[in-house]
Amino acid sequence: MELFIDSWNNIIQFYKNYIGTGFGVYLYLIALVFLLFTEKRKQVKTILVIAPIAILVLFTFPPFKMLFDVIGLDSETYYRILWLIPMGITIAYAGVKLFEKYIWIGIVVMCALVIYTGDYVYDNVNITKAENGYHIPQMVVNVCDVILPEEGSDKSRVWAVFPSEFIHYVRQYSDVICMPYGREALVDRWGFDYPLQDLMEAEVIQADKLAEEVRNNWCEYVILSVNKKYTEPMEDYGFELVDTIDGYHIYRDTQTEQ
């Protein structure tokens, strides 16, 4: 019974997260009910009405969530089931069907409803003006350009370890640069633990331990903030300072053969 209650509470929390700060979900539910009683074409009704209702029923059914847990799939994967719901298409189709005789009035009304029930994403603190065509911080581009293999080089890959603020962006810029850990290391609830990451994020860099762990992970480059303090210079352990870009030191391991 306790497991059933926990699953139910998780499901409710998933719905709260999915709804967010806007009311778009409620607009979708109105469109869904409208099409349930008005749509006559079987194929359209199956895709836009019957299938989503079946998904929602299964998603809300606690034993289905319990089965999900038993087979080893995590909550992050379960939450993504809601991504199968065609909200945008359903709202748009229902709007066209409702105002099919007055299409321009319908366009104005539906646009107003979507705007009113939604949320302005650009006032989010995580939204910033793009610095380049890649839509990633320019410092990432500048640092990566230093460590990328030169054109015509025999190297097809280069391994590097970055501070956490780089992790999300490096692979968006280049698939040539490989990292010993990625986004999974930044999500605490996933429970991944990387000794190299702990050393990289420490306030004081233990140069000897960092050098050892970098070599254990076969990384050629280490990128560290200029604001970091060190127990000893990285040069004492076979690392050369290649360049300093946008507040970051780029060290290269001169001892490990790449």
Tell me how far apart the alpha carbons of residues 183 and 33 are, in angstroms, rounded to a whole number: 39
Provide the pLDDT for residue 199.
95
Residue 178: partners with Cβ closer than 8 Å, 6 or more residues away: 157, 158, 159, 160
- At residue 257, the pLDDT reads 55
- Distances 148 to 143, 151, 220 between C-alpha atoms, Å: 9, 9, 11
* pLDDT tens digits along 120-137: 778 877 777 888 988 999
Q: Which amino acid is at 219?
A: C
Query: Could you tell me the pTM of the whole model?
Result: 0.71
pLDDT in tens, 156-189: 899 999 999 999 999 999 999 999 999 888 887 7
Which residues does the chain have with pLDDT short of 70? Answer: 256-258
